[in-house]
Structure 1
Amino acid sequence: MLHAKLPGVKCTANTCTFTVWAPQKEKMLLHLIYPQEQLLEMKPLDYGYFQLEVTNAAPGTRYFYRPDDEKDFPDPASHYQPEGVHGPSEVVDHSAYSWQDQGWRGIPLKDLILYELHVGTFTPEGTFESMIPYLDDLVHLGVNAIELMPVSQFPGGRNWGYDGVYPYAVQNSYGGPDGLKKLVDACHAKGIAVFLDVVYNHLGPEGNYFGQFGPYFTDKYHTPWGDALNFDGEWSDGVRDYFANNVLHWFEKYHFDGLRLDAIHAVYDTGAVHFWEYTYGKVRQLEQKLGRPLYMIAESDLNSPKVVKVPDVGGFGFDGQWLDDFHHALYVMLDKEGKNRYEDFGSMQQLAKAFSEGFVHSGDYVNFRKRKHGVSSAGVSGEKFVVFNQNHDQVGNRVQGERLCMLVDFERTKLAAAAILLSPYLPMLFMGEEYADQSPFFYFVSHSDQDLIKAVQEGRKKEFEGFQWDVEPPDPQDEDTFNRSKLQWHKRQSGKHSIMLEWHRRLIELRKTNPVLHNPSKNDLYVQVLGQQGLVLQRRSEDQLTYLLCIFNFSDEPLAFTPTDQSNQWFKVIDSKEEEWLEKPEVTGEAAPQRVDANQEIQIAPCSVCVYSNK
């Protein structure tokens, strides 16, 4: 018999076993819809589970559950919703897919070059399989890990994915379970790891029937999206198992290499074993079973190293976390309007701290929060942080959906790329960033509930009121808002877009081949601030034999710098002012010298980056 704590459906030769968790219901009916309609009573088990073995049921069978014989609802643990969030669930046989990645063993954490993308806007077709022909472009770029925005079933066909309501089900309009497996298989064949963004802090409103089954939610805590999920109250064991096993589901059934966990600070649990610690133990066991690394990357608002510390020393056990402070500190150096958006950032010293330590706010008072925030992350190794110039939030939560290249000029966009790719952290690009795509990335939905549509439309307007924008945000429900957010792949082939693409490719190649950039240790990194104009990253390899000087000038004036005597001579590796990297090649003469002696002053051109090596 199927283990009671695994809700869902498991099939053998001619029998399917249906299991559902509904601890406060006295009765549960299984309503088979297709291919033959039947209404069957399920058997109660311990801990609030109901179960039934059905002969002559098979993959493709569609069904509802009927709690207390009142009304039909889809399975909360459905693996496929072919007719959307309100339709019947469909039985999926995961063993039917023939995987071709048996030799895949993953990629070491510190070698990852991440690339975040939204399936619906990455290609004109907006499906998993339509992405496969584009993978060669990512390989040529040097990307070795893609991160999919959430693909769990959401209402309609247009959504960021954070309104998903069936965490085990793969979005039907993207291509469903088989489409996703084909994409992961194709990525592994080309040496690309695959990460998935998952959401365990809330569920979307439309199609959310979880409350009809059990106490999945609690009013003990509140999140920005409403009542929190019940990870520590009465009947919380079922909720904890549901979501912890969902993590394993993606690793086992879909061969994902890692998960990005949305807003982990909004998962509230005051029990003896925190949900994240509980999940950590399950993942480590599965990792041993599968024989490959399984990564968990957190989005956290805590500014606390405990996120990436193991539970043995009081941590949550994540392998890494997004570093928002790095983005904020860098952005205000690039965009003169940045201070209006991030009032607690604005000094070169803060950017230096972001490079050398990680968290900028480590116990100091933060105006935005009206309190002191964070603790130091100076002792946390570089591969524990993911840095970026933009992501879905940074772009999509601007009223006009502007990417960085639409906010700052070409030279500053190159500076931004160099900052993340020369850092000791894991770099992440947002789709299209590598060639300065100028398509906006808006927030979009396709709800069917008219009241909800109106609430979302009004909510977006209210959200932007505090920023004093002089335009209104586009209508999230309008299909044109979604279509305008699609990438313009053809632009990468010409003009400044092809230059930017090659700039990213060269920096990634440098990161992969230079021993200094392989070293994530902060003990081998020193940051020198050059007033409010720029800074220098002085980095060395693990064997202490190779040194790099990464000189950044964020100002509009030339910047003087004198290399130290760590080497008698320094040799230029890359310079954003060399002719091949200029948007207008006729503007020449600003490149730094190819070779300089120790203690010889050099001039670094305005808005540029130059890298020197001792060999």
Structure 2
Amino acid sequence: MIGDLRVWAPRASRVDLVLSASGTTEAMDADAGGWWRSRRPLLAGTDYALSLDGGPPRPDPRSPWQPAGVHGPSRTFDAGTFPWSDGDWSGRDVRGAVVYELHIGTFTPEGTLDAAVGRLDHLADLGVDVVELMPVAAFGGHHGWGYDGVALWAVHEPYGGPAALQRFVDAAHVRGLAVCLDVVDNHLGPSGNYLAEFGPYFTDQHQTPWGAAVNLDGDGSAEVRAFVVEKALRWFRDFHVDALRLDAVHALVDDSPRHVLAELSDAVSLLAEEVGRPLSLVAESDANDPRTVTPTREAFQGRAGYGMTAQWADDVHHALHTLLTGERQGYYVDFGTPETLAKALTEVFVHDGGWSTFRGTSWGAPVPADLDRRRFVVCSQNHDQVGNRALGDRPSRVLTPGALAVSAAVVLLGPFTPMLFMGEEWGATTPFQYFSDHEEPELAAAISCGRAAEFGGHGWVELYGADVVVPDPQELSTFEASRLDWGEASSRGGRRMLELYRRLVGLRRSEAAVASGDPARTSVRVGDGVVVMTRSGVSGGGPVDVVLALKEGPVSVVVEREGEPEVVLDSGVVLGGEGVVVERGAGGTTVTVSGPGVVVLR
């Protein structure tokens, strides 16, 4: 038994419950605050829809299950019947964890949550701490990225539906893996978006790249905010997830005295106390604003903090990617030098209040010198930075194994919270392209034409050439090309790269200097074709020097440590080109992982 069904529809004069199995319609009773209640409880597994003022049947805005797609009826789901086996799971704070982002639809050939369970042992063996799922909320069509979800309380049926998500989280916890769910609250997709029919979920007072903003500060916004907060708590409570990644929070425009992110942060903190394990919120923000991770009861530059556990720091990616690839188009224009990478590694934001050429204005704010750097999630690849390229190509398309090793070392041995993108650990060459599956002909055509038009912007013509054909998002081949090829992991090069990643992740766990997020313990020096990142020792452990060779030919590097003799890192080892040497204190053991020119741990 699920209980009475309730729906918020403040502008309706009548709401009917439409029971799909019997075809009967039952009037719902008006309740306080614009809510409506069914006259009897519903059983688990009941298919139903809602009719407003005699209109067509619509899915429930809080539908937990859409087995027939986003245009079909909702189905009740009893989340409390799942036999959890994670009673001993104590949780995992996302700060400092090794995060692994994946897309359910392309992670395995089957493209389901249950199939992904079969690859969790691979992630545990790699040393991953947190598995981050790209959005699983129900969206139009069979396959897509998930950022155009419309049934935000449901789990996409082709992935397996809500019960499959419970099975996935339970299986992850058994293996010591936490689960982070990517959620999108800043907009809804174009297909199956019926929220506006139910109430003032959107407002023309603010605009976003997707149109009218979610109504967080106008008339009726209290219930819209509750929709956002209660949905988040449901993922934590009913599905046992450990973290939420909040998409593009800069598009959550909220001029109310207390920002919705602060409200969400406080609610999640209370739930964490109740369930007795850490629950994390990770924000994606383009604002370069430390206020995002400032506690709600503190202030940054006179404004109350949003209280997020961590936030993505794209500037680190941009500084690393441009240095290794030489790309300078679009938003990469202000990046590309070793000095810029050094600033990103020590100060997080390259745009920290100064001029942004791409934006044509000053941008960002400086990160406080004492702020734990583990509050910033960094990567060399993610769904955006790969998938939003014209061809969806990975760095492995142009970078040598040595340069890929440099990239991995910066991310995994730096002071931040590192995130990997699926397949990166073996140097995957399969692209991750933008794909969609909209059934409406006009919408499908608009998506295809829009993607092709984007090729003229962002400097893609300069990078790829005008004759390159941009993959059509609506073509099935675009989706199929984006599936991981797990066979690459067993190739000679794949095995070598996997061993490199395992070694680097192992260093994060064995070396206190690497695990530390203390900004005072990271320094960076730039030389001729060389960048040296030093992680100072803590708790009696020795320092760790990460030497990044950025050019062809043998590299000789001298690292000077204050108060210690000079250490010549290439003694007995020839680093024959782009690659990494990691010196673990004086007298460390030399371990050759992938051969000269790729990486040597000393």
Same fold (TM over 0.5): yes
1:372 paired residue number = 362
Shift, 1:196, TM fit: 0.5
Cα gap change, 1:148/1:574 in structure 2, threshold over 3 Å: closer, same or farther?
farther
CA drift at 1:453: 0.4
2:551 pairs with 1:555: yes
Matches within 5 A, 1:36-47: 36-47=22-33
Match of 1:221 among 206, 211, 230: 206
Shift of 1:338: 4.2
Once residues 43 and 412 of structure 2 are traced to their aligned partners in structure 1, the CA distance between those partners, rounded to angstroms, is 49
Deviations 1:7-32 (A, max 9, x none): xxxx45xxx31100111111111111
C-alpha separation between the residues in 2 aligned to 1:574 and 1:187?
Answer: 43
1:356 aligns with 2:346: yes
Cross-structure match for 1:403: 394
Structure 2 Cα separation of the partners of residues 389 and 98 of structure 1? 38
Counterpart of 1:8? none
C-alpha distance 212-339 of structure 1, shift in aligned 2 (>3 A): closer
Structure 2 unmatched runs, 5+: 299-303, 588-594
Give the match for residue 417 of structure 2: 426
Cα pair 1:577 1:608 within 8 Å, conserved: no
Q: May I ask how many residue pairs the two structures share in their alignment?
A: 583
Match of 2:525 among 518, 528, 535: 528
CA spacing shift, 1:437–1:576, aligned 2, 3 Å: farther
Q: 1:380 to 1:66 in 2, by over 3 A?
A: same
Write out per-residue CA displacement over residues 169-217 of structure 1, whole angstroms, 9 at most, x where no aligned residue. 0000000011111110000000000001000100001000111111111
- 1:242-276 Cα deviation digits (max 9, x unpaired): 01111101101110000000000000110111111
Instruction: Supply the AA of the counterpart residue of 1:357.
Output: E
Deviation by residue 1:503-554 (Cα, 9 ceiling, x = unmatched): 11111011111111121101112222225x2221121233254111111122
Rounded Cα–Cα distance in structure 2 between residues aligned with 1:538 and 1:595: 11
In the other structure, the counterpart of 2:16 is 29
Compute the displacement of 1:401 (Å): 1.0
Paired with 1:576 and 1:256, the residues of 2 have a C-alpha distance of 45
Instruction: Return the offset for 1:74.
Output: 0.6
Q: 1:543 aligns with which of 526, 539, 544?
A: 539
Q: What SS is found at the alignment partner of 1:168?
A: coil
Q: TM-score, normalising length from structure 1?
A: 0.90
Distance 1:460 1:477 in 2: 10
Amino acid at match of 2:164: G
Q: Partner residue of 2:440?
A: 449
Does the residue aligned with 1:538 lie in a helix, a strand or coil? Answer: strand
Aligned to 1:7: none
Residue 318 of structure 2 is aligned to residue 328 of structure 1: yes
The letter for the 2-side match of 1:506 is R
Task: Please report how far the alpha carbon of residue 38 of structure 1 lies from its aligned counterpart in structure 2 after TM superposition.
Answer: 2.2
SS of the aligned residue for 1:414 comes to helix
Q: Which residue of 1 aligns with 2:488?
A: 491
Which amino acid in 2 is paired with 1:23?
P
TM-score, length of structure 2 as denominator length: 0.92
User: How far apart, CA to CA, are the structure 2 residues paired with 1:562 and 1:554?
Assistant: 15
User: Can you list the C-alpha shifts for 1:452-497, whole angstroms capped at 9, x where unaligned?
Assistant: 0011111111222122242131111111111111000011112111
**Does 1:51 pair with 2:41?**
no
Separation in 2, partners of 1:576, 1:296? 44
The 5 A counterparts of 1:21-420 are: 21-34=8-21, 36-55=22-41, 57-313=42-298, 314-338=304-328, 342-377=332-367, 378-420=369-411
Q: How far 1:576 moved relative to its partner?
A: 10
- The one-letter amino acid paired with 1:130 is A
Question: Which amino acid in the other structure matches residue 402 of structure 1?
Answer: D
- The answer on whether the counterparts of 1:576 and 1:608 sit within 8 Å (CA) in structure 2 is no
SS at match of 2:514: coil
Deviations 1:423-452 (CA, angstroms, capped at 9, x unpaired): 000111000000011111111111111110
What is the Cα deviation at residue 339 of structure 1? 5.3
Distance verdict in 2 for CA 1:591–1:322, change over 3 Å? closer
Structure 1: tracts of 5 or more residues without a match: 1-10, 584-589, 598-604
Aligned counterparts of 1:355 and 1:267: Cα–Cα separation in 2: 28
Cα gap change, 1:455/1:339 in structure 2, threshold over 3 Å: closer, same or farther? closer
Which secondary structure state, in structure 2, belongs to the residue aligned with residue 444 of structure 1? coil
Corresponding letter in the other structure for 1:323: A
Rounded to whole Å, the distance in 1 between the matches of 2:168 and 2:72 is 26
Change (3 A) 1:596 1:98: closer
Tell me the secondary structure at the aligned position of residue 412 of structure 1.
Answer: helix
When structure 1 is superposed on structure 2, of 336-345 and 90-99 the one drifting more is: 336-345
1:528/1:535 contact within 8 Å kept: yes
CA distance in 2, matches of 1:287, 1:411: 42
Aligned residue for 2:513, secondary structure, equals coil
Aligned partner letter, 1:512: R
CA RMSD of aligned residues (A): 2.5
Q: Which amino acid aligns with 2:15?
A: M
Residue of 498, 503, 508 corresponding to 1:506: 503
Query: CA, structure 1 residues 592+194, in 2 after alignment: closer, same or farther (shift >3 Å)?
Result: closer
